[in-house]
Structure 1
Amino acid sequence: MTPVLPEREIFLQPGEFYFGQAPARIRTLLGSCVAITLWHPRLLIGGMCHYMLPRRNRHQHGLSGKYADEAMQLFQQQAHHYGTRMQEYQIKLFGGGNMFLPASYSAYADVALNNITAGHMLLAQYGLTLTAQDLGLTGHRTVIFDLTDGHVWVKHQRLQES
């Protein structure tokens, strides 16, 4: 009889990154930020980032999950660490919700669109195929990613006009 391992629950705050192996569930709450998930179906490993901006304005030491381009470098490092290539993973994108209704639109609303655009551009740059996405519109999303089977559950709460 195979022992059942307890499942770990990991909650990502904005700017955080996690990569590991099953059994684990990774959760996050997204507004204008975007989450990228990578899952390897044979090895049952993968991760999620919760990036806030496409890139940072100045160079600093160390990579951060706050920035889309650096999060992709973190994913690449983890794939290499496990002896895999990023092209072997199922890739999914979530988030990028506009946190302002059209009537109250401001320049800050472009953050969501810039994050979505950065995600798509980085996937193309790395030669990765997107297997699923739930992006844009208004409001926030709760995302739960299960490393055991690669399933991602998304609950999208749109903004309501008063």
Structure 2
Amino acid sequence: MASGILTEVFLKPGEYAVGDTSCRIRTVLGSCISIALWCPGLQVGAMSHCLLPSRGRVGVAEVRGLDLRGLDARYADEALHLMLHELERRNVRASACNAKIFGGGNMFPAQRGAGVPVGRRNGEAARRLLKAHGIEVVSESLFGDGHRQIAFDIATGDVWSRQLPPNDAITGLML
């Protein structure tokens, strides 16, 4: 951190951020997921807060050809594309990054519904997307019951995750 000033960014659902060593990114996740990308060589990173795997109208291959103005970071496939584009603008190639994935929690474990819970679909989609882009996943904290508080320190590449039961109120990031 050259200037000594740390910029704190809090991601709301559907947002992403890209930063350097002066940046720490935080969020709170339930069934949503965050993908954190970090380039150790340049100490540049990005993180998303995605609600769903995709819109259902595009897949990994199709996203690459879309106009950036049409992309929406609420969807994991589109958020990853937006983050990779911003990283490329900072001379960071996808192959130089590693990834960490968080979230996909079951917020209502007592409710038994048909099909795969949205949190599990989100986490599995993140794994597939990163594999399709050739990005190694070095760590993950996925699934289980409740929500997570996440903090990503881009200077070190460290991501802290704290999982709390679904009945605890979200009172802000306590990390």
Same fold by TM (over 0.5)?
Answer: yes
The residue that corresponds to 1:141 in the other structure is 148
Q: Tell me the amino acid that sits aligned with residue 45 of structure 1.
A: V
Aligned pair partner of 1:153 in 122, 145, 160 = 160
Task: State the shift of 1:78 in Å.
Answer: 1.6
Question: What percent of counterpart residues are identical?
Answer: 39
Deviations 1:97-132 (A, max 9, x none): 01111x322358711111011101101111111010
Q: Tell me the amino acid that sits aligned with residue 25 of structure 1.
A: R
Partner secondary structure for residue 126 of structure 2: helix
How many residues align structurally?
158
The residue that corresponds to 1:132 in the other structure is 139
Q: Under a length normalisation based on structure 1, what TM-score does the superposition of the two structures give?
A: 0.89
Deviations 1:137-158 (A, max 9, x none): 1100000000111111111002
Supply the RMSD in Å over aligned alpha carbons: 2.0
Q: Tell me the amino acid that sits aligned with residue 106 of structure 2.
A: N
Task: State the shift of 1:68 in Å.
Answer: 0.6
Moved more, 58-67 or 89-98: 58-67
Question: Is the 1:98–1:109 Cα contact (8 Å) retained in structure 2?
Answer: no
Whole-angstrom CA distance in 2 between matches of 1:24 and 1:107: 41
Whole-angstrom CA distance in 1 between matches of 2:165 and 2:47: 23
Q: Tell me the amino acid that sits aligned with residue 78 of structure 2.
A: E
Moved more, 46-55 or 81-90: 81-90
1:23 is aligned to 2:22: yes
The residue that corresponds to 1:64 in the other structure is 72
Q: Tell me the amino acid that sits aligned with residue 147 of structure 1.
A: I
Whole-angstrom CA distance in 2 between matches of 1:29 and 1:122: 22
The residue that corresponds to 2:128 in the other structure is 121
Question: Is the 2:20–2:45 Cα contact (8 Å) retained in structure 1?
Answer: yes
1:91 is aligned to 2:99: yes
Whole-angstrom CA distance in 1 between matches of 2:76 and 2:136: 17
1:100 is aligned to 2:112: no
Gaps of 5+ in 1: none
Partner secondary structure for residue 14 of structure 1: coil
Whole-angstrom CA distance in 2 between matches of 1:51 and 1:90: 18
Gaps of 5+ in 2: 59-65, 168-175
Question: Is the 1:100–1:109 Cα contact (8 Å) retained in structure 2?
Answer: no
Partner secondary structure for residue 29 of structure 1: strand
Question: Is the 1:100–1:106 Cα contact (8 Å) retained in structure 2?
Answer: no
The residue that corresponds to 1:52 in the other structure is 51
Q: Tell me the amino acid that sits aligned with residue 47 of structure 2.
A: M
Question: Is the 1:34–1:116 Cα contact (8 Å) retained in structure 2?
Answer: yes
